């Protein structure tokens, strides 16, 4: 990658704070093989801003101005970084370098493969054995006398986008499997994804049948029959086609389509109406583009983006499946077209609703590993890992993650993890810092030998779990047990501010009650520890003034700057009030954007904390102690660079009110 | 007058009551002068269900041959249904409810009959008087004084007997200035900012009229406020166009040339009919059972409620910014000075003043800025979102305030000493209450009707030990700093706790609140016990 870097270092670059009166900080810009790094000149702070190349969505170059050339970097995390480069030639170089660096053409250029991973073989191998999918199948009671493992797809002979280890009904013979596979788009025949031990009903997934207007397959019909028989308690199965019915019908003209209820005995066909990847891509773009200070325009934009409508459709699919399985005890076969996008969304959401285990951190990891990674969701295509067909790109897993978030808003005590965990998860789907999401199928990942060449994300997230814990989570709480029955009335869906408006600097993300409770808890544990220590030293304590003091003032201790949730007003010290002055129809609000990147070492997203052991090429910078002061301990510092954003309309000397 | 005149059928057996969160139950319905009482037959130990008739906003009856159904839509947004055997009984009950729930005579209302064992009529009515409030603020004694000029309510019928004004302005000047302000509401102090020594004042509009009249005394009064500093701001809660138009009907605004040093800013806040219709549309949207997200968002937008929340918070932010960041005094007024002015001045105080964010402080603020300051509660809260009665003076200004406070509390979950249940309780009490606090339209009316002698004060009651516990925020941690709310649209949310409080969704959130409460107490209790053990 180094050969693409035309200019590794440019001095006197201005990082323009888009939230403020275009105030800028002067510093030096570095281009490394993996990051764009901006280091402030100010010797007091030396704040560093790091942007991973693989997270860069676009680099724009507005026309050159007398003061220099602008570069606007937009990231896949919905952040914006604006730079002013004095020399036009430098700007051209950076632009060209970044344009190339942010669009890798080969997997080997990606972060997780471009660094030298052989350093610690054992650790790497261990990271890949952190999750055990087979153990999770065993946890749900599979294999059993109804469902068995089949060797049919070993070496990916039957279906190259499926995992090699699959579970099918006991009565499904190899000829039935192969025959069914031939009658399904891309050979994705019906296989088990979730088994519900209480009702013995199951969730199976596949792709659309190649039925056209009249074709049928005896084996496929036998396969469906076998799935129904594998649930002794029911006389029929649901076939959930997650597409709008019109789309499904249109597919018949291409020799595909959906199951003819006359040919399959005892199936009930149900269409859900989740739109296709192109609709979703456009919808997300619209929601990103909503930038208005006016409430009316905002709600109108939200409506016309259609995003929440789509989120609801995905959740509705999950709810339908979960209810069929848990309440009716009826097995469900889910498919869309190819069975790797909408099907993955619907199946995994149903699992989250059905099984409390998938509402824990490890459970959610396993679920993604199963329903998304192992079943061939095309991560590299959907999330644009390599420079490829833009029509393949779509925020499919974003929608799943958002549905989980919407659920967690409705059931605050039901999930072990917090919003940060979900945001972090989504980030890594795009970042390619770990090998988990490379490629488009298990086979591709095997062929790339990713387990030998990269690290797995999961143990890293697990290691950092302290910052991802939802303090309200109660394993024994009524909300937490059994099936979640969410309300899906439209008013239950709201815009995910933490995801899409990470840029806006208001107090809430830092001052969430959850963060405070986590802090309280830590504090308590710490004090208990101190107490224990004191008791050990002096069992018949005289006055342990130190300990006592600590206990009497746990709250005051929490005010230490840098805590996740310091006292509420904290943000207002360095953040002047919001812009109450501009009238609503003013210019697009600058506060919707934030200069990227936290001080080095402070960002959980950041490389140094995420995988410092395998870092390379940027050592010289990362080794310097972080200088952002207390901010560095703030896991939310991503959002928390409090610049004087709200004084946007007036500088210190123009501080007069408009009249 | 006897309530019994209105009661055609006092008791009906075998009535089925349907209400949110409960299975339908069969029991006996009883109508009394102020309540509907529903009791479960069969020795069920559960307490009877009691509904204040005043709480009923709209009543719909569907009689049939052998029975009838009455739907009661309450001002607290709850919807109940009664299945009554017998058409005649059904019609009788309905007409009794109709006439009893719309009685207008204040002294016949329930607070005059409510006598709980834990309160005494001998207790002080209200939390504090203007004089007591003034006495606590030693730092203003040099520049400000308490004036009793309105002791007999002759200067301003809607003002309390005592108000705080600049020291240098005598009562005679006040009387003259009052004649130049609508309803006699001359500028008075509502907040003094210690750090900058600047103040927030409020008043009604000046009566400059089409001829651009002036009033020397009014100008003197305002001059005295910014004495020594070069600038003050007048935040007019009308658009400049509205302010211009007001001159045609005798109202007006402070012209630049007459009020030197004062700059006027216009921020249009809706009130009256517009606000009431907004509430009606919002409640209608929340009750829409359709499953279309588009339709919901479009209705939410169309109601404009969140826009009103945004404008109110943004204007309050502006006032607070003038005071704290620019160090300039502010006068807030609209037209009458009894609605949006109070909304803005109280929100600005919550942003700036940590004392007003405690439970007692907040109730004190409400008492000063709303009850004593003469917000016409009786007119504004006569009906809520369901009523079919034609609108006259109804407007949910106070509910809008509570929503804005909820937004503040949501954005700063640690800064407020009180919790969401308090806001919900107030939202309910303001429409129908056992207490006299929100009766009448002004202090004067409350004195005339004997509210202060013959009813109990809600605020007093909320500060009793066990209530206080319930309404306190377990996460509260006092901060001396101003809390600047974000007014970006994604930061402002629909107040589910109020508008969707009768849905399951709200239940989950209530449960979460309990978990938080337990967590906080658990985190501290075992430790404290251990410490005690260690010490022992």
How does pLDDT run along chain B (536 residues), one tens digit per residue?
567 778 888 888 888 999 988 888 888 899 888 999 998 866 555 688 899 999 999 999 888 878 889 999 999 999 999 999 988 888 888 889 988 888 888 888 999 999 988 888 888 888 999 999 999 999 999 899 999 999 999 999 999 999 999 999 999 999 999 999 999 999 999 999 998 889 999 999 999 998 889 999 999 999 998 877 779 999 999 999 999 999 999 999 998 888 988 999 999 999 889 999 999 999 999 988 888 999 999 999 999 999 999 999 999 999 999 999 889 999 999 999 999 999 999 999 999 999 999 999 999 999 999 999 999 999 999 899 998 887 789 999 999 999 999 999 999 988 999 999 999 999 999 999 999 999 999 999 999 999 999 999 999 999 998 899 889 998 898 999 999 998 989 889 999 999 998 887 777 778 888 888 887 777 665 555 555 555 43
Cα-based distances in Å from A463 to A122, A130, A360, A457: 17, 11, 15, 10
- Chain B residues inside the 8 Å CB shell of A544: 534
Q: What is the ipTM of this complex?
A: 0.90
- pLDDT at residue B422, rounded to an integer: 96
Q: Nearest CA to B271 among B340, B203, B370?
A: B340
pLDDT class of A19 with cuts at 50, 70, 90: low
With an 8 Å Cβ cutoff, are B293 and A308 in contact? Answer: yes
- pLDDT at residue B524, rounded to an integer: 63
Instruction: Please tell me which of the candidates B300, B317, B508 has its beta carbon nearest to residue A577.
Output: B317
Share of chain A above pLDDT 90, in %: 54
Contact A342, A310 (CB under 8 A): no
- Chain B residues inside the 8 Å CB shell of A472: 512, 515-516, 519
Q: Is B349 helix (H, G, I), strand (E, B) or coil?
A: helix
Q: Per-residue pLDDT for A504 more than 60?
A: no
With b meaning 16 or more CB within 10 Å and e meaning fewer, what string describes A459-488? bbbeebeebbbbbbbbeebebbeebbebeb
Task: Report the alpha-carbon angle B195-B200-B205, nearest 5.
Answer: 165
* Annotated binding-site ranges of A for substrate: 276-277, 336-342
Distance from CA of A186 to the nearest CA of B (A): 34
- Packed helices B504-535 and A513-537: angle between N→C axes, nearest 10 degrees: 20
Q: Nearest CA to B270 among A297, A591, A293, A296?
A: A296
Q: Nearest CA to A99 among A5, A9, A27?
A: A5
With an 8 Å Cβ cutoff, are A501 and B263 in contact? Answer: no
- pLDDT at residue A582, rounded to an integer: 58
With an 8 Å Cβ cutoff, are B494 and A295 in contact? Answer: no
Take residue B163 and report the two structure tokens written for it: 């108000």
Q: Tell me the average pLDDT across A332-352.
A: 96
- The verdict on A475 touching B (C-beta cutoff 8 Å) is no
Nearest chain A Cα to B494, which residue? Answer: A491
With an 8 Å Cβ cutoff, are B490 and A507 in contact? Answer: no
Beta bridge partners of A241: A271, A335
pLDDT in tens, A445-480: 999 999 888 899 999 999 999 999 998 898 877 767
With an 8 Å Cβ cutoff, are B489 and A306 in contact? Answer: no
Distance from CA of A553 to the nearest CA of B (A): 11
- The verdict on B469 touching A (C-beta cutoff 8 Å) is no
Tell which A residues from 589 to 648 touch B, by Cβ distance under 8 Å.
589, 591-592, 646
Q: Enumerate the H helices of B305-396 as residue ranges.
A: 305-324, 340-352, 359-366, 377-380
- Chain A residues inside the 8 Å CB shell of B500: 491
Q: Tell me the average pLDDT across A48-71.
A: 89
Distance CA B188, CA A169 (A): 81
Distance CA A191, CA B227 (A): 82
Contact A42, A592 (CB under 8 A): no
Q: Per-residue pLDDT for A517 more than 90?
A: no
Q: Enumerate the H helices of B147-207 as residue ranges.
A: 171-179
Q: Per-residue pLDDT for A558 more than 80?
A: no
Contact A457, A432 (CB under 8 A): no
Burial of B40 (0-12, 13-18, 19+ CB in 10 A): middle
Q: Per-residue pLDDT for A72 more than 50?
A: yes
**Long-range contacts formed by A100-106: CB under 8 A, 24+ apart:** A100/A4, A101/A1, A101/A4, A101/A5, A101/A31, A101/A33, A101/A53, A101/A56, A102/A53, A102/A54, A102/A56, A102/A57, A102/A59, A103/A386, A103/A387, A104/A1, A104/A53, A104/A54, A104/A385, A104/A386, A104/A387, A105/A386, A105/A387, A106/A386
- pLDDT at residue B7, rounded to an integer: 82
- pLDDT at residue A323, rounded to an integer: 97
Place of tokens 């004095």: A86
- The verdict on B481 touching A (C-beta cutoff 8 Å) is yes
- Chain A residues inside the 8 Å CB shell of B315: 580
pLDDT class of A634 with cuts at 50, 70, 90: very low
Distance from CA of A396 to the nearest CA of B (A): 19
Nearest chain B Cα to A589, which residue? Answer: B488
Beta strand segments in B118-197, E: 144-147, 163-166, 188-193
Distance from CA of B312 to the nearest CA of A (A): 10
With an 8 Å Cβ cutoff, are A567 and B315 in contact? Answer: no
- The verdict on B220 touching A (C-beta cutoff 8 Å) is no
With an 8 Å Cβ cutoff, are B411 and A591 in contact? Answer: no
Concatenate the DSSP letters of all residues of A111-180 into one string.
Answer: HHHHS-GGGGHHHHHHHHTS--HHHHHHHTT-SSSSEEEEGGGGGGSS-TTS-S-EEEETT--HHHHHHH
Tell which A residues from 226 to 285 touch B, by Cβ distance under 8 Å.
none
- pLDDT at residue A118, rounded to an integer: 60
- Chain A residues inside the 8 Å CB shell of B484: 507, 572, 575-578, 646
- pLDDT at residue B349, rounded to an integer: 96
Share of chain A above pLDDT 70, in %: 74
Instruction: Please tell me which of the candidates A413, A490, A494 has its beta carbon nearest to residue B515.
Output: A413
- pLDDT at residue B503, rounded to an integer: 83
Q: Tell me the average pLDDT across A38-65.
A: 89
- The verdict on A582 touching B (C-beta cutoff 8 Å) is no
With an 8 Å Cβ cutoff, are A303 and B410 in contact? Answer: no
- Chain mean position to CA B137: 25
Contact B174, B181 (CB under 8 A): no
- pLDDT at residue A350, rounded to an integer: 97
With an 8 Å Cβ cutoff, are B297 and A490 in contact? Answer: yes
- pLDDT at residue B531, rounded to an integer: 53
Task: Report the alpha-carbon angle B267-B268-B273, nearest 5.
Answer: 155
- pLDDT at residue B317, rounded to an integer: 94
Active site residues per annotation of A: 336
Beta-carbon pairs below 8 A across chains A and B: 233
- The verdict on B532 touching A (C-beta cutoff 8 Å) is no
Nearest chain B Cα to A549, which residue? Answer: B531
pLDDT class of A567 with cuts at 50, 70, 90: very low
Contact B34, B97 (CB under 8 A): no
- The verdict on B18 touching A (C-beta cutoff 8 Å) is no
With an 8 Å Cβ cutoff, are B515 and A292 in contact? Answer: no
Tell which A residues from 480 to 499 touch B, by Cβ distance under 8 Å.
487-495, 497
- pLDDT at residue A4, rounded to an integer: 78
Nearby residues of B395 by Cβ (< 8 Å), 6 or more positions away: B271, B272, B273, B275, B276, B339, B380
With an 8 Å Cβ cutoff, are B413 and A511 in contact? Answer: yes
With an 8 Å Cβ cutoff, are A299 and B301 in contact? Answer: yes
Take residue A628 and report the two structure tokens written for it: 């952002």
- pLDDT at residue A524, rounded to an integer: 61
Q: Are strands B25-31 and B11-18 parallel, antiparallel or unpaired?
A: antiparallel
> Which has more confidence, B3 or A597?
B3
Nearby residues of A618 by Cβ (< 8 Å), 6 or more positions away: A32, A34, A35, A37, A607
Distance CA A501, CA B490 (A): 8
- Chain B residues inside the 8 Å CB shell of A531: 527, 530-531, 534
Tell which A residues from 45 to 84 touch B, by Cβ distance under 8 Å.
none
Q: Tell me the average pLDDT across A402-424.
A: 94
- pLDDT at residue A654, rounded to an integer: 30
């Amino acid at each position: 990658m180094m050969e693409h870097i035309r200019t590794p270092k440019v001095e006197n670059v201005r990082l323009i704070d888009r939230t403020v009166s275009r105030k800028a900080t002067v510093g030096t810009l570095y281009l490394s093989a993996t990051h764009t790094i901006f280091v402030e000149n100010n010797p007091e702070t030396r704040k560093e801003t790091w942007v991973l190349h693989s997270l860069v969505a676009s680099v724009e170059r507005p026309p050159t101005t007398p003061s220099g050339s602008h570069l606007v970097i937009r990231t896949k995390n919905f952040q914006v970084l604006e730079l002013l480069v004095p020399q036009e030639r430098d700007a051209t170089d950076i632009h060209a370098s970044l344009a190339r660096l942010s669009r890798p053409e080969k997997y080997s250029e990606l972060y997780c493969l471009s660094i030298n991973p052989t350093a610690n073989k054992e650790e790497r191998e261990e990271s890949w054995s952190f999750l055990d999918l087979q153990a999770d199948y065993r946890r749900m009671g599979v294999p059993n006398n109804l469902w068995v493992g089949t060797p049919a797809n070993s070496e990916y002979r039957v279906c190259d986008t499926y995992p090699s280890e699959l579970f099918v009904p006991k009565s499904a013979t190899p000829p039935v499997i192969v025959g069914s596979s031939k009658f399904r788009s891309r050979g994705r025949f019906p296989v088990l994804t979730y088994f519900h031990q209480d009702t013995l009903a199951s969730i199976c997934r596949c792709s659309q049948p190649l039925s056209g207007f009249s074709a049928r397959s005896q084996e496929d019909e036998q396969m469906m029959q076998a799935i129904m028989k594998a649930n002794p308690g029911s006389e029929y199965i649901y076939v959930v086609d997650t597409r709008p019915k019109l789309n499904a019908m249109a597919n018949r003209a291409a020799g595909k389509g959906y199951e003819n209820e006359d040919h399959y005995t005892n199936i009930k066909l149900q269409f859900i109406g989740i739109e296709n990847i192109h609709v979703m891509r456009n919808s997300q773009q619209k929601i990103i583009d909503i930038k208005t200070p006016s409430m009316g325009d905002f709600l109108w934009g939200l409506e016309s983006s259609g995003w929440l409508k789509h989120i609801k459709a995905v959740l509705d699919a999950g709810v339908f499946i979960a209810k069929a399985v848990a309440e009716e005890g009826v097995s469900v076969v889910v498919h869309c077209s190819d069975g790797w996008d909408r099907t993955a969304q619907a199946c995994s959401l149903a699992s989250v609703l059905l099984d409390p285990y998938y509402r824990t951190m490890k459970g959610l990891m396993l679920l993604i590993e199963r329903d998304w990674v192992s079943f061939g969701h095309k991560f590299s295509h959907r999330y644009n890992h390599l420079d490829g067909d833009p029509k393949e790109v779509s925020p499919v897993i974003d929608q799943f993650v958002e549905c989980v978030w919407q659920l967690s808003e409705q059931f605050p005590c039901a999930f072990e993890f917090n919003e940060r965990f979900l945001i972090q998860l989504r980030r890594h789907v795009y970042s390619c810092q770990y090998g988990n999401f490379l490629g488009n199928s298990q086979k591709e990942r095997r062929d790339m030998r990713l387990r030998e060449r990269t690290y797995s994300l999961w143990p890293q997230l697990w290691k950092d779990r302290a910052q991802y814990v939802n303090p309200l989570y109660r394993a024994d709480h009524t909300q937490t047990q059994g099936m979640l029955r969410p309300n899906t009335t439209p008013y239950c869906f709201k815009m995910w501010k933490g995801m899409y408006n990470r840029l806006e600097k208001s107090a809430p993300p830092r001052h969430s009650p959850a963060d405070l409770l986590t802090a309280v808890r830590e504090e308590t544990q710490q004090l208990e520890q101190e107490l224990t220590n004191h008791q050990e030293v002096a069992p018949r304590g005289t006055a342990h003034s130190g300990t006592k003091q600590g206990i009497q003032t746990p709250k005051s201790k929490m005010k230490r700057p840098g805590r996740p949730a310091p006292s509420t007003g904290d943000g207002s010290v360095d953040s002047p009030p919001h812009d109450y002055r501009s009238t609503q129809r003013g210019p697009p609000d600058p506060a919707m954007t934030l200069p990227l990147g936290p001080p080095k070492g402070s960002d959980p997203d950041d490389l140094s904390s995420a995988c410092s052991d395998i870092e390379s090429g940027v050592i010289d910078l990362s080794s310097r102690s972080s200088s952002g002061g207390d901010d560095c301990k703030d896991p939310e510092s991503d959002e928390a660079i409090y610049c004087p954003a709200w004084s946007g309309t007036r500088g210190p000397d123009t501080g007069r009110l408009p009249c | 007058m006897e309530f019994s005149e209105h009661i055609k059928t006092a008791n009906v057996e075998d009535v089925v009551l349907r209400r949110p969160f409960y299975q339908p139950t069969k029991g006996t319905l009883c109508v009394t002068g102020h309540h509907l009482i529903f009791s479960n037959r069969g020795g069920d130990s559960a307490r009877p269900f009691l509904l204040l008739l005043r709480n009923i906003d709209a009543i719909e009856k569907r009689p049939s041959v052998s029975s009838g159904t009455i739907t009661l839509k309450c001002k607290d947004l709850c919807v109940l249904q009664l299945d009554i055997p017998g058409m005649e009984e059904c019609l009788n009950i309905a007409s009794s409810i109709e006439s009893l729930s719309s009685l207008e005579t204040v002294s016949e209302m329930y607070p005059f009959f409510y006598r709980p064992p834990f309160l005494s009529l001998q207790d002080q009515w209200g939390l504090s008087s203007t004089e007591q409030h003034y006495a606590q603020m030693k730092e203003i004694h040099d520049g400000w004084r308490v004036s009793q000029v309105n002791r007999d309510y002759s200067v301003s019928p809607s003002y309390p007997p005592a108000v705080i004004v600049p020291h240098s302005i005598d009562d005679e000047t006040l009387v003259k200035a009052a004649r130049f302000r609508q309803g006699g509401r001359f500028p008075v102090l509502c907040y003094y900012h210690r750090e900058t020594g600047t103040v927030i004042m409020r008043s009604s509009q000046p009566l400059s009229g089409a001829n651009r009249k002036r009033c020397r005394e009014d100008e003197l009064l305002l001059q005295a406020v910014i004495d020594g500093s070069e600038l003050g701001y007048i935040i007019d809660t009308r658009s400049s166009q509205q302010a211009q138009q007001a001159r045609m009907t005798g109202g007006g605004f402070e012209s630049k040339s007459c009020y030197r040093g004062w700059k006027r800013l216009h921020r249009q806040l809706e009130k009256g009919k517009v606000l009431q219709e907004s509430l009606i549309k919002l409640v209608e949207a929340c009750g829409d059972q359709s499953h279309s997200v588009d339709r919901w968002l479009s209705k939410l937008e169309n109601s404009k409620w969140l826009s009103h929340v945004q404008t109110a918070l943004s204007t309050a932010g502006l006032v607070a910014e003038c005071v704290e960041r620019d160090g300039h005094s502010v006068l807030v007024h609209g037209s009458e000075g009894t609605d949006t002015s109070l909304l803005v001045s109280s929100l600005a105080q919550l942003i700036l003043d940590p004392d007003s964010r405690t439970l007692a402080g907040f109730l004190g603020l409400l008492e000063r800025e709303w009850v004593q300051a003469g917000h016409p509660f009786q007119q504004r809260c006569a009906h809520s979102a369901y009523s079919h009665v034609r609108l006259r003076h109804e407007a949910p200004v106070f509910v809008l305030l509570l929503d804005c406070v909820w937004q503040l509390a949501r954005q700063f979950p640690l800064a407020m000493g009180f919790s969401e249940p308090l806001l919900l309780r107030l939202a309910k009490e303001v429409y129908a209450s056992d207490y006299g606090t929100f009766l009448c339209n002004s202090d004067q009316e409350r004195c005339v009707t004997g509210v202060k002698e013959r009813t109990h004060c809600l605020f007093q009651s909320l500060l009793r030990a066990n209530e206080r516990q319930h309404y306190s925020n377990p996460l509260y941690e006092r901060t001396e700093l101003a809390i600047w709310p974000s007014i970006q649209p994604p930061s402002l949310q629909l107040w589910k706790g109020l508008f969707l409080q009768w849905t399951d969704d709200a239940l989950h959130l209530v449960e979460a609140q309990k978990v938080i409460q337990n967590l906080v107490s658990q985190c501290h209790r075992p430790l404290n016990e251990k410490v005690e053990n260690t010490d022992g």
